[in-house]
Structure 1
Amino acid sequence: METQELFKVGQQALKAQSFSRLLGTVLIEFKPGVAVLEIPVSEDVLQQNGFVHGGVLSYAADNTLTFVAGSVLGPNVLTAEYKINYLRPAVGEKIIARGTVVSSGKRQAVCRCDISIRKGEKETVCAIAQGTIMASASEKSNE
């Protein structure tokens, strides 16, 4: 699939996710082996100490991992597993999640996601994740 067409497919997939719409997630880059999502930080995504809630960072990792895997496996993918390491509290205006494919075959891809927080012009990595994403026969399948 051509990169421009892939980007449009990615935008449609993101638009179809109600939670992504709720958070205001934007697809910045989407090409084979690379996906970048951005999420604006608002008061609604902060925990009691003023840091971005870990669940929002986890969402960013999971969604970016599936997007980047989908760029090489096709659009019907599911998360088999992922692990996230929180490195430091996220304080800033925007979350940037950058995903890359580490290794892929026909049915699964192992991917990495680096999650940064931007405050002004400074960007700091606040979490990293790795996951295995598998191709699914159908989005509606219960198998």
Structure 2
Amino acid sequence: MDAEALKAFAHQVFDAQPFSRYIGARLIGAAPGYAELSLEVTDNLKQQHGFVHGGVISYLADNAITFAGGLAMGGNALTSEFKINYLKPGRGHELIARARARSTGRRQAVCQCEIFSQVDGEEILCALAQGTIVAASD
């Protein structure tokens, strides 16, 4: 699949995700083995201390690594497992997740993701995630 077809495929899959549309996530980068997602921080995504809820950050990590793995393997994919380390509270006006496939086979890819908070024009690393992505079967 060429680069333009891969991007079109990625956007088609992303646009078919009701939950991603519901919270306002956007797929802003897609390439073989790479995905970048962004999400505007709104009050309804925060927890009681005013930080972005950990579940929202976890969603971004999960979806970004699944896209990176799927794009590395050239097709639809599912998360088999992942873990996340929260480093700093998510805050600011936007979150950005950047994921890369680090090892890819025919049936699985191991991916890593960095999640950044955009605060006053600066990117602050707030979480790291790693996961195993498997090719989806019909």
TM-score normalised over the length of structure 1? 0.94
Give the fraction of aligned pairs with identical amino acids, expressed as a percent: 48
Structure 2 residue aligned with 1:125 = 125
> How many angstroms apart in 1 are the aligned matches of 2:137 and 2:19?
23
3-state SS of 1:111 partner: strand
Give the number of equivalent residue pairs: 138
* Counterpart for residue 21 of structure 2: 21
CA contact (8 A) 2:36 2:64 kept: yes
Across the aligned residues of Structure 1 and Structure 2, the Cα RMSD in angstroms comes to 0.8
* Structure 1: stretches of 5+ with no match in the other structure: 139-143
Distance 2:25 2:133 in 1: 20
What corresponds to 2:116 in structure 1?
116
Separation in 1, partners of 2:13, 2:125: 26
Q: Secondary structure at the match of 2:115?
A: strand
The answer to whether the Cα contact below 8 Å between 2:34 and 2:72 also exists between their aligned partners in 1 is no
Which ranges of structure 2 fall in alignment gaps of 5 or more residues?
Answer: none
TM-superposed CA distance for 1:73, in Å, is: 1.4
The answer to whether the 8 A contact 2:93-2:117 is kept is: yes
Structure 1: which amino acid aligns with 2:59? Y
Q: Distance in 1 between matches of 2:92 and 2:67?
A: 24
Trace 1:21-40 onto structure 2 (pairs within 5 A): 21-40=21-40
What corresponds to 1:79 in structure 2? 79
Structure 2 counterpart of 1:99, one-letter code: A
Structure 2 residue 70 is the aligned partner of structure 1 residue 62 = no
Structure 1 residue 9 displacement after superposition: 1.1
SS in 1 for 2:124: strand
Once the two structures are TM-superposed, the CA of residue 136 in structure 1 deviates from its matched residue by 1.8
Distance 1:24 1:5 in 2: 24
Whole-angstrom CA distance in 1 between matches of 2:131 and 2:95: 19
After TM superposition, the score normalised by the length of structure 2 is 0.97
User: How far off is 1:75 after superposition?
Assistant: 2.6
Please identify runs of 4+ aligned residues in structure 1 that moved more than 4 A: none
In the alignment, which residue of structure 2 is the partner of 1:141? Answer: none
